[in-house]
Amino acid sequence: MAKQATADKRQRRERGSINPDDIITGAFELAEQVSIDNLSMPLLGKHLGVGVTSIYWYFRKKDDLLNAMTDRALSKYVFATPTWRPTTGVRPYAIMPA
What is residue 66's predicted lDDT score, i.e. its pLDDT? 98
- For helices 20-34 and 41-48, give the axis angle rounded to 10 degrees: 110
Per-residue model confidence as pLDDT tens digits over 68-92:
999 999 888 877 666 666 655 555 5
d(CA 57, CA 10): 21
The amino acid at 89: G
What are the boundaries of each domain within the chain? 18-83
The C-alpha angle with vertex 71 and arms to 69 and 77, in degrees rounded to 5, equals: 105
Class of domain 18-83: mainly alpha
Q: What tens digit of pLDDT does each residue of 14-69 get?
A: 666 799 999 999 999 999 999 999 999 999 999 999 999 999 999 999 999 999 99
Buried b (16+ CB within 10 A) or exposed e, 76-98: eeeeeeeeeeeeeeeeeeeeeee
